[in-house]
């Protein structure tokens, strides 16, 4: 019987590979990230309106996703980074981020908002903490 760590050696990554709202819901659920997992029409819009979608696959199973909004010129917002909990701590999230950076090039700033539980993760994968930001929260 193989372990998840052994399986992680065989992860494949795809750029802008079409996925379904159900697949996105499942990876959000399996990763522990808080997203509207039961609102499939909303998840479908999230996919459709993304500029960049990097996915990680264990054969035909989606095990990770990085979803971004960008102009490919100046800034890129990494809206979602989710890795199935059984595949976490194996470098998949770091590789998803690296592939986003590869797609947007060095002239684009990569930004994100972190959940409180992930605040220690992002500096370990190359992000610099910033304090000069503002937000207007969504109502739904």
Region 123-128 average pLDDT = 82
Share of the chain above pLDDT 70, in %: 94
Each residue's pLDDT tens digit, 83-117: 999 999 999 999 999 999 999 999 999 998 877 77
Range of the structural domain that residue 15 is part of: 4-124
Sheet strands side by side (includes 52-58): 12-15, 52-58, 61-70, 75-83, 109-111
**What kind and span of H or E run contains 4?**
helix 4-8
136 occurs within a structural domain? no
pTM of the entire structure?
0.87
What is the total count of domains within the chain?
Answer: 1
Output the pLDDT for position 1.
Answer: 40
132 occurs within a structural domain? no
Mean model confidence pLDDT for the chain = 90
105 occurs within a structural domain? yes
Q: Do you know the residue count of the chain? A: 140
Q: What is the CATH number of the domain that holds 38?
A: 3.40.630.30
Gap between the Cα atoms of 21 and 50, Å rounded: 13
**pLDDT value at 72 more than 70:** yes
117 occurs within a structural domain? yes
């Amino acid at each position: 019987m193989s372990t998840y760590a052994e399986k992680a050696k065989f992860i494949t990554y795809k750029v802008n590979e079409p996925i379904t709202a159900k697949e996105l819901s499942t990876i959000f659920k399996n990763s522990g990230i808080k997203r509207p997992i039961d609102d499939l029409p909303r998840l479908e819009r999230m996919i459709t309106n993304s500029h960049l979608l990097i996915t990680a696959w264990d054969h035909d199973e989606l095990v990770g996703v990085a979803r971004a909004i960008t102009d490919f010129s100046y800034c890129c917002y990494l809206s979602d980074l989710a890795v199935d909990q059984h595949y976490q701590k194996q470098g998949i999230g770091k590789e998803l981020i690296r592939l986003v950076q590869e797609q947007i090039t060095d002239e684009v700033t990569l930004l994100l908002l972190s959940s409180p539980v992930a605040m220690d993760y992002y500096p370990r994968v190359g992000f610099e903490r910033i304090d000069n930001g503002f937000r207007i929260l969504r109502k739904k």
